[in-house]
Amino acid sequence: MSAQATQAPHLAEAPRIEKFSPVDGSHLGDFPISSADDVERAVAAARTAFPAWRDLSLNQRFEYLERLREIVSSDGESFAKTISEDTGKPLLDSLLTELMSIPLFIDYYRKEAPRALKRRKLSRQLFFPTKTSYVEHAPMGVIAVISPWNFPFQLSMIPVLSALIAGNTVVLKPSEVTPLTGELMREIFERAGLPAGVVSVVQGDGATGAALCRADVDKIFFTGSVATGRKVMAAAAEKPIPVELELGGKDAMIVCHDANLDRAARAAVWGGFLNCGQMCISVERLFVVEAVYDAFLEKLKTEIERIRVGAPDEGSDMGPLTFGAQMGTVARHLQDARERGATIAMGGRPMEGPGQFFEPTLVLDVTEEMEIYRDETFGPVLPVIRVADEEEALRMANNHQYGLTGSVWTRDVSRGLALASRMESGQCSVNDLVLSVGNPALPFGGVKRSGFGRYHGPEGLYAFMNQKAIMVDRGLLEVEPFWYPYAPKYEAMLGTFRNLMGGKMVRALSHFYEMHKLTKKRP
């Protein structure tokens, strides 16, 4: 078990998170669970800090983020070791998928934020000739970020940094499964010298997260399971406040008849087993058309055989499951698949020895009624579905409760783009996978039960801001055509309405001008 809440006899008044290594089961430490009162104090501090942080210029906010960037740059290798110790993932993954996001997103937003957050002047509208219209964005206030354990650093830091750039203050509740990373982030924010209350980290379990949802926050940004997402949404609805939900996925990869099979096979294995399959954007439904199925399958097996499984310091490609409970989910899905006629072609068992290691598993003859097809497995399992053609693959891909990301593999890029446009997902790639989530310019988020809302790209700033419409009149006219009195203007208004509906703009404007003259002739 990777982490659990306990109450030691001599600390009965202070529940703690007890953390165990997913690699060898050794005890890694105990961490306090923040109480509801702790959460309230953190939110109150964030509320107090908000006006001053909001009023800083963008350049002043980025000065703090540059300090943070320098800390990650100078100590990145040490941080990667901490994240890998916490999660079990290879050191390369901790650098690539966790830490490298920091400079990428800070650099992107330093260039993009001034343009995205600038007040925007709109075109003048025909019936508002004296009005100038603008749209601008204002920070929401205090943002609650509740983050998951599979990418505990990246999926915490990117929404936090986005909210900070947008002028908000943040209370972050990291997952109790990965408390080492939670403490690491607390250390980084403190070393960056952010003003008191601008970012607070509240370690804890589900009760801590529930307290944060009830607290005086202005938005909740949640990444996690559908079941918990529903609870978060219900809590937000009580106030009501906006919520963004980044939930699960069962992502489809479609291998077309003309795909580059070597590239597609290597991609499928990386996309299916990266982070031990513990990604909402993992390849969890691999559709292969009949014409290339056998040839592709042989290449797929060869690539799976090459995966090295082991601890972070062993030069491995794949580590253990981070969360011990996932062992049960993976085993249950595989058992259900066997009973319903699937073939476990490779793997299928926990690995001998200490830790939460599971064999890279290839499942064939997968059908739509199986749990492994319907529900998120979140483990090192690659289900393959044979289809007659690309149209059947697309139909099956779309006929599902989730819609997060997907990919299409073909040498005909125009055709691939057409198929990608028809896939019901928040993101879709052609001849690529997973990496789109790391592109700071692309909005990320799902459809259907994968959640709603977008972050990354300009949307990643707007996600934490209220849009405000402003209309300005210089006030040179004494009256407006629509002001009182009404009595003498009905016929003119009726003429305006009828001609406008009939598309006769000149006549409509003539009646509109008549209304203005009648308004000036107040009896």
Taking CA 495 as the corner, what is the angle to CA 493 and CA 496, rounded to the nearest 5 degrees?
A: 65
> Is residue 165 a contact partner of residue 62, using CB atoms and an 8 Å limit?
yes
Q: What share of the chain is helix, strand, coil (3-state, %, to 5)?
A: 45, 20, 35
How many angstroms separate the CA atoms of 250 and 280, rounded?
A: 7
Collect all residues with Cβ–Cβ distance below 8 Å to 233 and sequence separation of at least 6.
243, 245
CA 475 to chain centre: 45
Q: Which of 176, 246, 303, 390 is catalytic?
A: 246
The label of the residue with tokens 């830490």 reads 99
> Which H/E stretch holds residue 68?
helix 58-87
Collect all residues with Cβ–Cβ distance below 8 Å to 251 and sequence separation of at least 6.
280, 281, 282, 283, 284, 285, 402, 404, 405, 406, 407, 425
How many angstroms separate the CA atoms of 15 and 32, rounded?
A: 7
Collect all residues with Cβ–Cβ distance below 8 Å to 52 and sequence separation of at least 6.
195
Give the DSSP letter string of 199-224.
EEE----HHHHHHHHHSS-SEEEEES
How is the beta sheet containing 243-246 ordered, strand by strand? Answer: 199-201, 169-173, 142-146, 219-223, 243-246, 451-452
How many angstroms separate the CA atoms of 145 and 161, rounded?
A: 11
* Catalytic (active site) residue 280: yes
- Per the DSSP assignment, residues forming a β-bridge with 448 are 402
> Is residue 276 a contact partner of residue 90, using CB atoms and an 8 Å limit?
no
- Count the Cβ atoms, other than its own, within 10 Å of residue 328: 9
Q: Which of 213, 256, 280, 428 is catalytic?
A: 280
> Is residue 93 a contact partner of residue 434, using CB atoms and an 8 Å limit?
no
How many angstroms separate the CA atoms of 25 and 36, rounded?
A: 30
> Which H/E stretch holds residue 144?
strand 142-146
- Count the Cβ atoms, other than its own, within 10 Å of residue 401: 13
* Catalytic (active site) residue 246: yes
**Token digits of residue 205:** 């379990």
Q: Catalytic site residues?
A: 246, 280
